[in-house]
Structure 1
Amino acid sequence: MTSLPQIAGFGTIVLLGAMSPGPDFAVVVRRSAASGRLYGMAAATGVAVGVFVWVVAAATGIAALLATSAMAFTVVKVVGAAYLLYLGARALRSALRSGGELKLDLPDPGRRNAWAAFAEGLFTNVLNPKAALFFVALMPQFVSSGSSVGETLVLSLIALAGTVAWFMVVANVVGTLRKVFARPAVRRVVDGLTGAALIALGVKLAAATRP
């Protein structure tokens, strides 16, 4: 039976993992700055659901298959790296494109609903095999082979809640400062830095090998 100290320890580790800089953080920040608080929160929810998926996958052994199968790892790695490079290139294109001030009551062109932002956050996390490796290493310390479905569900929900709480804070802070981010010069800097970061993370992921 998973004890309360174990649950607290698991939640703390997952929260610290969510707070570490990475593609999830970059996507939530850019979506909040570009499209507003609602869209940033949608992206944050997508990231959290991705974490939930990996926790369940790790607990059921699916993520372990990804960690041990060179082909599965490579496929997810290549697709994930390509997606990050695509997001980075799009951000850089936005930074280089001249234009007027961003209107605060409209989302980015082509991103007219929160589902698109949610999908962006979800795919950024789910297509990252490093997330699978993280939870494959973490879950055995908290879930034994005899653990019940209920215990796995509790840990999955803890991971979901901790991740969404952190990224909701990020989305709301950035969304509150959106008038600053909406200035053309600031927007270009944010897009440029985010694009460069996503491309760097995509290249790093493409070069990653299984431990």
Structure 2
Amino acid sequence: MTPTAILAFAGLCVVLALTPGPDTFLVLRFSLARQGAGLAASAGSALGSMVWALAVALGLAALLQQSAEAYRILKIVGGLYLIYLGVTALIASRRHGSSFETGARRTSLPSGFVAGMLSTMLNPKVGLFFLAIAPQFIPRGAGALGNTMLLGAVDAVVGGVYLAVVALVAARAVAWLKRPRVAKTFERVSASILAALGIGTIALSATE
């Protein structure tokens, strides 16, 4: 694979990364409670991308493309996970108030990492992205496994860096967001967005 092809793929990954999605809101929530947890969620999301790249390289993701039922089930599971994250965040906000210090104490790095990884792994669109785009960048006759994993690494780095920047910027905004009314509103809005994304995912799956 030529450097030009890798740069072209990286540019496409940048465009996709800049489009807000569940991972962005997830990292935002974790980083507002604890900067390290937000960075851990970013790393987890990057690892999730690598898992999808491996699945595509091994041909597993092709099953999702061929089986509408498998694709629908994965989308529903992913939607339920987003709803779970949103609802638990709303409950925690009501129970513990809007203190970010309290949030920092109950938000661990492992929980952020696992949440970021699961959010990406349960998003079948990531797998279908690799399935549709990767072949266009892999030269005919080249090793599919190695080159697909290389593209997966590029996407993981681009996405991980973008989400890490989101985490750092959000963490620096905590001082302003510590105002009780602002913090309370933002926590509930971000949690509601996660839950709404999950509900929307399940609703769309039911109509497909």
Moved more, 52-61 or 163-172: 52-61
Does residue 1:81 correspond to 2:76, yes or no? no
* Equivalent in 183, 187, 191 of residue 187 of structure 2: 191
What residue number does 1:15 align with? 14
d(CA) in 2 for partners of 1:144 and 1:159? 18
Equivalent positions of 1:71-110 (< 5 A) are 71-97=69-95, 99=97, 101-103=99-101, 107-109=104-106
Does residue 1:170 correspond to 2:169, yes or no? no
Superposed CA deviations along residues 114-140 of structure 1, whole A, max 9, x for unmatched, are 111100100111111122222222112
What residue number does 1:203 align with? 199
Divergent runs of 4+, >6 A = none
d(CA) in 2 for partners of 1:12 and 1:75? 31
What residue number does 2:4 align with? 5
2:118 maps to a residue whose letter is F
Superposed CA deviations along residues 150-169 of structure 1, whole A, max 9, x for unmatched, are 32232121111111111111
Does residue 1:114 correspond to 2:112, yes or no? no
What residue number does 2:28 align with? 29
What residue number does 1:141 align with? 136
CA contact (8 A) 2:30 2:37 kept: yes
Q: Could you say what the CA RMSD is over the residues aligned between the two structures, in angstroms? A: 2.2
Superposed CA deviations along residues 80-120 of structure 1, whole A, max 9, x for unmatched, are 1110011111222234446363327x7242x3x31111001
d(CA) in 2 for partners of 1:117 and 1:58? 25
d(CA) in 2 for partners of 1:68 and 1:200? 28
CA contact (8 A) 2:134 2:151 kept: no
SS of 2:204's equivalent in the other structure is coil
d(CA) in 2 for partners of 1:146 and 1:207? 41
SS of 2:104's equivalent in the other structure is coil
SS of 1:163's equivalent in the other structure is helix
Moved more, 149-158 or 39-48: 149-158
Q: Which runs of 5+ in 2 are unaligned?
A: none
Does residue 1:39 correspond to 2:17, yes or no? no
More helix by share: 2
Give the drift of 1:3. 1.3
CA contact (8 A) 2:54 2:148 kept: yes
Give the drift of 1:26. 0.4
SS of 1:147's equivalent in the other structure is coil
